[in-house]
Amino acid sequence: MEGLSSVTSSLQIPFSLEDLQFSFNERGELRHSVTKEPFVYNYYKNEHERNHKRYKMLGDMITLHVYGLLEKQLNFDRITIPIDASDEEPKSFFFMSKEPLSKQNNLFVLLQDKGVIRAGQWSQKVIVHHSLDRGTQIPYITSALRDNSSVIVLNPNDNFVEMKEETQVLVKREDDAVSVENRDECNVSRDNKHALPKRGCSSPEEHTTYIWDHFISRSAAKNVSIIAHGYGGLVFLDLLCKKSQEVMSKVTAVAFIDSRHHAQHQAQTDPEIETWIRSHCRSWVLSAKPLDRPTGSLRKQDCFKVSAGTEKCDLAPSFALQSIFRFLSRSTKSRRSLVLPVRTMVTRSSVRKTM
């Protein structure tokens, strides 16, 4: 591991976790390739900057590893956006299952919290200290695919191309590696003075709206389910308020996980939106109560709240998974039951007419 300092000092970027002498074992736990020990942040005693650079590079390699799992293990497509971008233009991307959006009835959309996390991750810290199953969106994706649904994995935090100045030459970094000043996933601040925004994706809100306009709204899916964690809840409500009629007619159910949204302020007391939120959304909140136990008071403007089964924001998605899919499944079945009788109703008079 001592060789890592030379990598950092020479500004070389590792290409894989193996370059950092780490790998995931059969349980999806991150372990040192030689010692088999878990990752320790304070590896270099009392050298914060050195440890921070090491952790930052590890996070970048985890991001690339998760991208690889989405593409190779789950066979997802990486979709470049903007769809009309020139070769020289900064680009972003998201992931989508290969099932055609023109054929599938059910579509799941995953929207994570803000920060350093990228497509396919709920929490980088949980991936490092727990496992891939706990910290990535893969268990949600596989659950959705078992229901023969399409899945869109948003990438709302991929907003800028960093511009690094070396010997008075600007070098664009448009690879998948990520560099952020503060890596606290629940409270991240960026210094974008040397960053070039990506068109249509310069913020989580803009990214989500772009995907809605060009992909989700044009899909054949009759049942769109949204799963939004942390700041993702605020982003979804922003979309709902901007495109209320489209969203309310297309989205069957929304699962908020430790959401940062504020229905009363964001919805601007629109009674139609408030009614829709109460009917189609449920919120899993941080609580010491057992999973699914009702918690808090139901405000007029907001949805029903239940316990996520944990008081830790980054563990809430993994704790609430089964409960969330039960809710989404019931919501989809309820919507089908409202439509089905109209299409299958048979009366005696109609039978006589056909005879």
pLDDT digits (tens, 9 = 90+) for 77-104: 999 999 999 999 999 999 999 987 887 8
Give the pairing type, strands 106-111 and 150-153.
parallel
Q: Sheet holding 223-229: strands in order across?
A: 77-81, 92-96, 150-153, 106-111, 223-229, 251-257, 281-285, 304-307
CA distances in angstroms from 309 to 218, 284, 285, listed in the order given: 36, 9, 8
- pLDDT tier for residue 327 given thresholds of 50, 70 and 90: very high
CB–CB of 311/287 below 8 Å?
yes
Q: Provide the CA 57 distance to its chain's centre, in angstroms.
A: 21
pLDDT in tens, 156-215: 999 999 765 443 333 344 444 443 333 344 444 444 457 899 999 999 999 999 999 999
DSSP code, position 39: P
| pLDDT tens digits for range 41-56 | 888 888 899 999 999 9
How many Å apart are CA 182 and CA 12, to the nearest integer?
21
What count of other Cβ atoms lies within 10 Å of the Cβ of residue 60? 22
Only one residue has tokens 């690879």, namely 175
Output the six-digit token pair for 304.
């029903």
Tokens for 269?
């007391």
Residue 185 is given by DSSP the state T
Structure tokens at 62: 């985890």
Q: What ranges do the domains of the chain cover?
A: 1-73, 77-354
Mean per-residue pLDDT, 9-26: 76
Lowest mean pLDDT among 55-59, 280-284, 347-351: 347-351
Query: How is domain 77-354 classified at the architecture level of CATH?
Result: 3-Layer(aba) Sandwich (3.40)
pLDDT number for residue 299: 59
In the chain, the percentage of residues whose pLDDT exceeds 90 is 64
pLDDT bucket at 281, cuts 50 / 70 / 90: very high
Pairing of strands 223-229, 251-257: parallel
How far are the Cα atoms of 32, 121, 130, 142, 150 from residue 24, in angstroms, in the given order?
Answer: 9, 15, 11, 19, 27
Handedness of CA 225, 229, 235, 238 (dihedral sign): positive
Q: What is the mean pLDDT of residues 141-163?
A: 93
pTM for the full predicted model:
0.83
Mind listing the pLDDT tens digit for each residue in 49-76? 999 999 999 999 999 999 999 999 999 9
pLDDT at 46: 84
> CB count, 10 Å around CB of 77?
13
Q: What is the mean pLDDT of residues 137-152?
A: 94
Residue 50 has what DSSP assignment? H
Sign of CA dihedral 324, 328, 331, 333: negative
